[in-house]
A and B are shown apart, each in its own frame.
Chain A
Amino acid sequence: MDMLRKIDDYRWEIPVDYKPGMRVPGVVYASEAMLESILNDEALEQVANVAFLPGIVGRSLAMPDIHWGYGFPIGGVAATRVSDGVVSPGGVGYDINCGVRLLQTNLTKSEVAPRMASLMERLFRNVPSGVGSEGKLHPPKTEITRLLIEGAHWAVRHGFGTQDDLDATEDGGRIEGADPSAVSERAMARGLPQAGSLGSGNHFIEVQSVTDIYDSTAASAMGISEKGQVLILIHTGSRGLGHQVCTDYLKTMERAVTRYGIDLPDRQLACAPVDSPEGRQYLAAMRCAANFAWCNRQHIAHWVREAFREVFGGSENDRGLRQVYDVAHNIAKIETHLVDGRRTVLCVHRKGATRAFPPGDSALSARYAAIGQPVLIPGDMGRYSYVAVGTERAMQETFGSTCHGAGRLLSRSAARKSMRGDEVEADLRRRHIHVRTGDVPALAEEASPAYKDVADVVDVVQGAGICRKVARAEPLGVIKG
């Protein structure tokens, strides 16, 4: 606790003099009750380390789902000036544009429950998943460059979804400035066979039903109208392509820190000036990986829709499956924010954090102009997830960012020691939550006790005013990779 100074019930400061070399203070969003687990590992040291980055402005921020990562903490946000600041691949992570996509349906829990077994089977069959899973796309070589530039647009252009999906995706599902020539042959070889796959670890497809609506106006804009309504949440990222882009550029940045005379407390924070050959190349490659991830989630959403059509039949109007939103959790974006009262162009790193722009922001489509950007906050597979919206306070305090999920509480090995995967599966079934996975023992790593209660996390971000709750949903079934 010595390193933290309480600001209010939701904010704690790591003073700028906590470590020599910090350029700005750190701010951790958390309740007092959550601090015990946060203080258990190295996460707060990582918040302080991020404050060393040249050009960092405001605060080195940590959301309440913070936990120990590598370099940056998971749940970290840091903004650096584009003019004289750095970009750090470790501030994005290996799974570039890991993110979530939410679809609503026009079906209710009582309509879906009798067919859950066949729905789960169909989803499991339609969407490749598991360790090293290869996708169903096999894009021809001539199309790869276009896929990396166009992102989700590439998928829609090939019949996987509609313009309405793109309008409900961060950056329209395509971040500008992607340059495939910045992506190594290795990254291509590692990632392209996985185009159109869920992967493993904490990636999932979850069938949910709405339990609570807190803001009916915002919920209505999202197509969420009643308790019991069924939603689908998809969580995956850029697969091996993103992993290799990060690996490649961290090696580049290792040399860059010497070239540019940058002093860092952790090598995983390796970085280069945003406006340098290394920085520009990394951003160009990272954007390709981000577009690959949006394309990936676009295809998976299409296969989810196919599964619903096959199981429930009826018309498109009967089933719904309109996209609510798609947000990135791991990304670096060039955005303009107010810093000390002046509009400043920044490189905003969100590492396990979600963009949360307010009503009226020009980045939002007309559908969400009045309510703000939808924010999707998955919990664990045994409890619940939240849908929220961005706020003006987030723009003022966190560069328009909020939390991205529950945050791990137990290490994977500790989770496996305390639970067995088959027991987790049996417990979920007793609670009428269907599970389909190719790796039952791994369920222990993703069970509820391994995660913070996402309700506590959301209470903090709502209390702090950096997003606002709209609805809560509980799981009916989960596909784990």
Chain B
Amino acid sequence: MESKPFEFVAHTADVAALVRGHDLEDVLRNAAAAFYSLAMGERSIAATLCRSVAITSVDNDALLVDWLNELIYLLFVDHQAFSQFEFDELADGRLRVNCHGQHLLPCQLHLKREVKAATYHMAHLAPDRDGLIARIVFDV
């Protein structure tokens, strides 16, 4: 049976997600999907907007957290959500990616949960049966 790309697991104060992927790119996509599921619920995101994002972090574990914090900012401040990602560069704590998604008008926003941040707590990419697995604790 194929593992789920992400699942939410118990955390007393906040919300934790287990995210899997065949490789780092896949984990970043699935982590984005986990975040949007948490913040917006299960809804489709159109691809009518393209935005370039570049991040430099100290390593890939931190990159995963910083990536999610970038998406948190873009959703809660710029009201933009993304569903497709084309990675131009991804290695050694650096990424450059074109994010395809949509701008959400206030009447479309319907945010389900305020996500303050993705935290570094327990954030660690580890080998898994199908590739990589990471745990992310979101402060909500």
A residues near B (Cβ < 8 Å) are 41, 43, 67-71, 74, 90, 93-95, 131-132, 186, 189-190, 199-201, 240, 243-244, 246-247, 250-251, 254-255, 258, 266-268, 270, 408-414, 442
Contacts and interface: CB of A to CB of B under 8 A. Distances in A.
Contacts of B11: 41, 68, 411
B14 A70 contact: yes
Interface of B: 8, 10-15, 57-58, 61-62, 66, 69, 72-73, 76-77, 109, 111-114, 116-117, 119-123, 137, 139-140
A103 B140 CA distance: 27
A70 B119 contact: yes
Given A69-B13, A240-B77, A270 B120 contact: yes
Contact of B10 (A43, A67, A258, A411): A411
A131 B121 contact: no
Contacts of B14: 69-70, 412
A412 B123 contact: no
Contacts, number: 101
A267 B120 CA distance: 6
Contacts of A67: 12-13
A57 to B, nearest CB: 24
B123 to A, nearest CB: 7
A246 B120 CA distance: 12
Given A131-B112, A268-B119, A186 B77 contact: yes
Q: Which 4 A-B pairs have the closest CB atoms?
A: A70-B121, A267-B120, A268-B121, A70-B119
A272 B18 CA distance: 30
Nearest to B119: A70
Contacts of A190: 73, 76-77
A201 B39 CA distance: 12
A80 B95 CA distance: 36
Nearest to B11: A411
B112 A41 contact: no
Given A70-B137, A132-B109, A240-B77, A268 B13 contact: no
A413 B61 contact: no
B109 to A, nearest CB: 7
A200 B69 contact: no
Contact of A201 (B62, B66, B114, B117): B114
A108 B132 CA distance: 60
